[in-house]
Structure 1
Amino acid sequence: MKYHASQGIRVAAGAAVIALTASACGGGSSDSADGTVTLTVTTQVDYGYRDLYKEYEKSHPGVKIKEVLIEDLPKKLVTQLAANRGASDVVGLGDDTIGKFKPSHQRFLNLADHGVNNTDDPWVKWAYDYGTVENGKYVMGMRTDIGGLGICYRTDLFKEAGLPTDPEQVGKLWPTWDEFTETGEKFRSKVKNASFTANTGDVWVGMGNQHKETFFAESDDSFIADENTTLKQDFLTAANMSVEKVSGGYPPFTPEMANALKTGKAATAVCPAWKLDRTKEASGPDNTGKWSVAAAPQGGNWGGSYLLVPKQSKHPKEAVELARWLTSSEVQKKLFLSKGYLSSHPAVYNDPEVQAKKDPYFSDAPTGKIFAEAVDKMEPIYRGTKDSDVASSFMNALLRVEQGKQKPEAAWDQAIDDAEKVAGE
């Protein structure tokens, strides 16, 4: 459904966002003369809720919903909260940006006071917990989807390289990211007119989401990237994919990457569940059945958001009710079956109908099973309050390596220097 802008993602997704006319300044709820309550829901990108809003309005005749998309929502929300005016009734924040607002969590409703807990219709624990503060007593946000993690791959190019094409066998090629690189080197020796993977930025994101800590320490939110040897090794592994020509260097979420997927210039792309629709759109209907999906190295998750209710809302009861419905198991199951957004509710992603879901565009790969298994392998990730601020330093460093402007070690050193400045270290 959305994606994890911290490592460079949701920011780029804005290119695909069409902001609604009403989105320029946001705005909260309003009432009409006939007593109808209008609730405004603001997100950075399309959460796939449009048809659901219509469904909700039919079952709640006294409620109208106004959808607003704002690409720089976190920045605008800071201003709205400070002014105590202008914020929407329901706000969607990515799992990479909600941390920025935790120090000011009291400007949002404590959803625990409105009956939200993790006992009734529960979320997976790590996803629920990250939406809370004060040791879980203050529920800031309700989790929407989660991403899971997979690898989309071109079966035709894999055949050309002499590699297996069955998802289970393909997943066994790369239990680790080092073996993913080794597979890429074998591919490169056989196929001359395509790169193995689209870019290193997406690989870096997938890697980072597999660790408990990345840029900041869970204990005190201090900057630790310079001391995080595992993070550095991940960076060098990703950067060396450029050096070894395993990566094509097509920047994430750009027309160049879309064209590479469409024309077969890249054989793989890192794919959380929400990215399947984007891959279909980029690659086009002519490539139906040429793609498939396999497990990513080491499992994990990429993406997901929270719905929060600012205290400014004039209709907090109705806003909470809407947000809870949108994040319920019932609705999350609909979203997976119709749009592929993986639920954050174990009862849903373990549901037999979800587990049995196959996608004909991706050669009938068992996408429900693959993404659910990826999530079950992961551990909670700590994202600091400045996570999304420093992430671009590392994405830019990888880009410099892909462009041949820096070697991996030098790029890492500059990324650390740049990130420390942003973090105020």
Structure 2
Amino acid sequence: MKYHASRRVWVVAASATVIALTASGCGSGAGDSDGKTTLTVTTQVDYGYRDLYKEYEKSHPGIKIREVLVDDLPKKLVTQLAANRGASDVVGLGDDTIGKFKPSYQRFVNLADHGVNNTDDPWVQWAYDYGTVEGGKYVMGLRTDIGGLGICYRTDLFKKAGLPTDPERVGQLWPTWDKFTEVGEEFRAKVKDASFTANTGDIWVGMENQHKETFFSESDDSLMADENSGLKQDFLTAANMSVRKVSGGYPPFTPEMANALKTGKAATAVCPAWKLDRTKEASGPGNSGKWSVAAAPQGGNWGGSYLLVPKQTKHTKEAVELARWLTSSKIQKRLFLSKGYLSSHPSVYNDPTVQAKKDAYFSNAPTGKIFAEAVDKMQPIYRGTKDSDVATAFMNALLRVEQGKQKPEDAWSQAVSDAEKVAGD
């Protein structure tokens, strides 16, 4: 089960979109017969840029933009970089996969050579820094959105359990993930026909993103999961949500989970900002006003991406200008207000208009304020060059516990062993 992507769509909707948009293929842009320069932008999922591409083309009449979605972009990009051909003019990589390409950073344009810095239109420092190498001298990628972290919850089911429904009071119920589990047990004692939370996989992603180091050591990029006592404790806390019947075990981003959200079989789900629209899609218009959003235990982040420009492009200047425009604070503010993607620019997520944003589907919860506060609690996270490779071992381990095939401690031990094989340690 492959899961550790920054933004995922529900499986039932993903395949057709990918096929339709990849039919035109990938590869660097070239001059069209009408004299325009075509720039190809390839991402793994929809970044919400479609209307922006049209706007950019109007303001830049010499530019034409071709959008491509590739389901397994990191794998294909490795091949394209090795062959020195086939890569797009601009590529989008999740914050969990960009580390995989840092050893090959010289195959990407150093955006610092084109005037990019973190002074003129600054990103939040930790997000900007993670897109750089050589101590910040080599700017490899420009940060798009960040996720923030919240908990979506069904107000109707919370009422049934005798729990508060106001976002502020709900957030106060669970200052820690252990308290979250305790609330889940209280819920299950009163509501027999619904699980408290959809699955432990989403919980785990939120948890691991609250650590400065996760699977790998920042000092030498060596696998350190088994030495990270805090990470292990979080894994056991998540796994025990299955044992204690708090989790429904609906696999992330599947029709089963979508149906659970729609039919009220799960009372909560982990929600970074970008996932609000996915939750609406899964739950359906009939459940508008039955959902709300509260702060997640301990704040944090899930998601976000970077735009990079491979050196293969024949249109470096134009590609850099497009990437810079798409990741600017002006555009990111519009993307949050229109699509809910939380900006990686402090000037945006601290903007009064953004902070005042509410979502009618989620009972007019103050989503702008909730997600901005979550980001303010963030600390820089180190992800190893093989982070996305070993993450699957831990997700699969949680799945085995949910299926009753392993106990939490045994699942952790096997996950570490499987990760060591993948990492080559």
TM-score (norm 1): 0.97
1:120-161 Cα offsets, whole Å, 9 max, x none, are 110000000000000000000000000000000000000000
1:176–1:389 Cα change, 3 Å: same
1:179–1:395 Cα change, 3 Å: same
State whether structure 2 residue 136 is matched by structure 1 residue 136.
yes
Q: 1:268 is matched with which residue?
A: 268
Q: Cα RMSD between the aligned structures?
A: 1.2
- In the TM superposition, residue 10 of structure 1 has moved relative to its aligned partner by 4.7
1:214-263 Cα offsets, whole Å, 9 max, x none, are 10000000000011111110000000000000000000000000000000
- In the TM superposition, residue 26 of structure 1 has moved relative to its aligned partner by 1.1
Question: Contact 1:7 / 1:394 at 8 angstroms: preserved in 2?
Answer: no
Q: 2:199 is matched with which residue?
A: 199
Q: 1:154 is matched with which residue?
A: 154
SS at 1:362 equivalent? coil
| Pairs within 5 Å for 1:65-104 | 65-104=65-104
Q: 1:183 is matched with which residue?
A: 183
Letter in 2 for 1:257: M
Q: 1:23 is matched with which residue?
A: 22
2 CA distance for matches of 1:9 and 1:323? 19
SS at 1:361 equivalent? coil
1:22–1:295 Cα change, 3 Å: closer
Q: Which runs of 5+ in 1 are unaligned?
A: none
Counting matched residue pairs gives: 421
SS at 1:144 equivalent? strand
Letter in 2 for 1:235: F
Q: 1:119 is matched with which residue?
A: 119
1:53-82 Cα offsets, whole Å, 9 max, x none, are 001011111100000000100000001111
Q: 1:306 is matched with which residue?
A: 306
1:189-230 Cα offsets, whole Å, 9 max, x none, are 010000000000000000000000010000000000011111
| Pairs within 5 Å for 1:9-408 | 10=7, 16-17=13-14, 18-21=17-20, 23=22, 25-408=25-408
1:98-127 Cα offsets, whole Å, 9 max, x none, are 000000000000000001100011000000
Letter in 1 for 2:304: G
- In the TM superposition, residue 30 of structure 1 has moved relative to its aligned partner by 1.2
- In the TM superposition, residue 6 of structure 1 has moved relative to its aligned partner by 6.4
1:363-400 Cα offsets, whole Å, 9 max, x none, are 00000000000000010000000000000000000000
Question: Contact 1:44 / 1:92 at 8 angstroms: preserved in 2?
Answer: yes
- In the TM superposition, residue 16 of structure 1 has moved relative to its aligned partner by 3.5
Question: Contact 1:152 / 1:268 at 8 angstroms: preserved in 2?
Answer: yes
Question: Contact 1:14 / 1:44 at 8 angstroms: preserved in 2?
Answer: no
2 CA distance for matches of 1:117 and 1:8? 27
1:287-326 Cα offsets, whole Å, 9 max, x none, are 0000000000000000000000000001000000000000
2 CA distance for matches of 1:229 and 1:318? 47
1:146-180 Cα offsets, whole Å, 9 max, x none, are 00000000000000000000000000000000000
- In the TM superposition, residue 34 of structure 1 has moved relative to its aligned partner by 3.1
- In the TM superposition, residue 11 of structure 1 has moved relative to its aligned partner by 6.5
TM-score (norm 2): 0.97
SS at 2:65 equivalent? strand
Question: Contact 2:148 / 2:300 at 8 angstroms: preserved in 1?
Answer: yes
Percent identity over the alignment is 83
1 CA distance for matches of 2:234 and 2:345? 30
- In the TM superposition, residue 14 of structure 1 has moved relative to its aligned partner by 6.1
Question: Contact 2:6 / 2:302 at 8 angstroms: preserved in 1?
Answer: no
Letter in 2 for 1:87: A
Question: Contact 2:44 / 2:92 at 8 angstroms: preserved in 1?
Answer: yes
Question: Contact 1:153 / 1:268 at 8 angstroms: preserved in 2?
Answer: yes
Question: Contact 1:173 / 1:179 at 8 angstroms: preserved in 2?
Answer: yes
1:398–1:168 Cα change, 3 Å: same
- In the TM superposition, residue 347 of structure 1 has moved relative to its aligned partner by 0.2
2 CA distance for matches of 1:32 and 1:42? 19
Q: Which runs of 4+ in 1 moved over 4 A?
A: 8-15
1:73–1:7 Cα change, 3 Å: closer
2 CA distance for matches of 1:191 and 1:99? 43
- In the TM superposition, residue 35 of structure 1 has moved relative to its aligned partner by 1.9
Q: Which runs of 5+ in 2 are unaligned?
A: none
- In the TM superposition, residue 22 of structure 1 has moved relative to its aligned partner by 5.3
Question: Contact 2:27 / 2:40 at 8 angstroms: preserved in 1?
Answer: yes
2 CA distance for matches of 1:120 and 1:167? 36
2 CA distance for matches of 1:165 and 1:178? 20
1:301-359 Cα offsets, whole Å, 9 max, x none, are 00000000000001000000000000001100010000000000000000111000000
1:8–1:327 Cα change, 3 Å: closer
2 CA distance for matches of 1:11 and 1:272? 12
2 CA distance for matches of 1:271 and 1:88? 31
